[in-house]
Amino acid sequence: MDIPDASRRHRRRGFRLSFGLLLLALSPVPLALFIAGRSDFDPAPFPADFLQPSPAAETEHGAMLATGELVGEGKLPGPEDLAYDEEEGYLYTGCADGWIRRVLLAGEAAVEDWADVGGRPLGVALSPDGGLVVAESEKGLLKVSKERKITLLTDEADGQKFKLTDGVHVASDGTIFFTDASYKYDLESHFLDFLEGRPHGRLLSYNPVTNHTTVLARDLYFANGISVAPDQNSLIFCETPLRRCRRYHIRGEKNGTIEEFMENLPGFPDNIRYIRDNNYLIALCTERNLLWDLLMKYPLLRKLKFLLGSHLANIPPMRNSGLMRVSLDGKPMAIFSDPHLSLVTSGLQIGKHLYFGSLHENHILRVDLTKLENVANK
């Protein structure tokens, strides 16, 4: 008597289970179609030739986490970019909660809340007059004076508002060079800009004497980090999804023209900074690998990634992030990475230490370069 009943129950449960599984499997699809119908996310092919082999660096150090120590642990949420005031010994960084914090590097590396600019400060750069210039992703280009007075310098150019003010550096004559990664997507949806394969980025300058903002180059692919060259004749800027950095001339007979600097980087470049001894440091926020190559090659895969959203959140994985030391003419000299590092967004060398900023860690990673000689190269 019990048997048919039990088997019916069993069948019913089986039906419910498979129906549930089917719903679960299909649930992203209507949701995705709903989102897709309402979104103007429209992936396009990237300009070709960025899938060539990456040039190898002379040395590759692959164990930064084992070698390094954590500075300001728990007190520096998302220290995206770094700027060092050599005279006073402070390392400045913009954090995820809107605060610019600074770390006195001498002694115990104490963290100080310095100025609350709000929003999400990304690029930070010292100004020759002592203050700090901040690329705040939402409001635009800000100046924080030594007395911590905050002023908005500019938030638009040629009638177009910035939506993702990102990298900044100041030339020795006071001219501020900066990037707006996208006029279409804001910080929250920045990954869509990265995936879309359409150029919404601009390279800009701000003249603090005339208060004038100039568009130097437009139609850039997620224009990100920027560094003025030590001779002040040009600057290098990075286009993250294309894995390339290019040179823009700011003086001389090539003034206003763009030249190749580095193509096919082994990872996706974020900030770049001139350090010293004729070197730049470029932060690679994740490595390049086969999955990334496929994704960037095929717009359809990027559409799929968008449609499946969180189901593909960590595919391809962000890993093997780090810093690359590059010569003045764009030769890769050394890579400092770790398989478990992701979203390293900036780097500096101060004395014998490398400092790693990050979009999502709660500290700055510091690595003693003299200790690396004892660690096996990758």
Interface residues toward ligand NAG, by CB under 6 A: 210-211, 251, 255-256
- Residue 160 or 255 with smaller CB distance to ligand NAG: 255
Q: How far, in Å, CA of 216 to CA of 357, rounded?
A: 27
**Residue 174 Cβ, how far from ligand NAG at the closest point, in Å?**
13
> Each residue of 216-227: b (16+ CB within 10 Å) or e?
bbbebbbbbbbb
- Residue 154 or 271 with smaller CB distance to ligand NAG: 154
**Residue 208 Cβ, how far from ligand NAG at the closest point, in Å?**
8
**Residue 69 Cβ, how far from ligand NAG at the closest point, in Å?**
42
- The helix (H) or strand (E) run that includes residue 37 is helix 28-38
**Residue 211 Cβ, how far from ligand NAG at the closest point, in Å?**
4
- Residue 222 or 237 with smaller CB distance to ligand NAG: 237
**Residue 217 Cβ, how far from ligand NAG at the closest point, in Å?**
11
- Residue 140 or 241 with smaller CB distance to ligand NAG: 140
List of residues 6+ apart from 293 with CB closer than 8 A: 51
- Residue 255 or 278 with smaller CB distance to ligand NAG: 255
Q: How far, in Å, CA of 197 to CA of 120, rounded?
A: 24
Alpha helices in the chain, H assignment, sequence order: 2-26, 28-38, 64-67, 190-196, 290-297, 299-308
- Residue 257 or 327 with smaller CB distance to ligand NAG: 257
Task: Classify the phi-psi angles of 351: left when phi > 0, otherwise alpha if psi is within -120 to 50, otherwise beta.
Answer: left
- Is residue 332 within 8 A of residue 38, CB to CB? The reply is no
User: CB burial class (10 A; 0-12, 13-18, 19+) of residue 72?
Assistant: buried
**Residue 247 Cβ, how far from ligand NAG at the closest point, in Å?**
14
- Residue 257 or 314 with smaller CB distance to ligand NAG: 257
Place of tokens 């177009």: 160
Tokens of 322: 């780090």
Q: Coil, strand or helix: which one is 246?
A: strand
**Residue 306 Cβ, how far from ligand NAG at the closest point, in Å?**
38
List of residues 6+ apart from 355 with CB closer than 8 A: 71, 82, 91, 347, 348, 349, 364, 365, 366
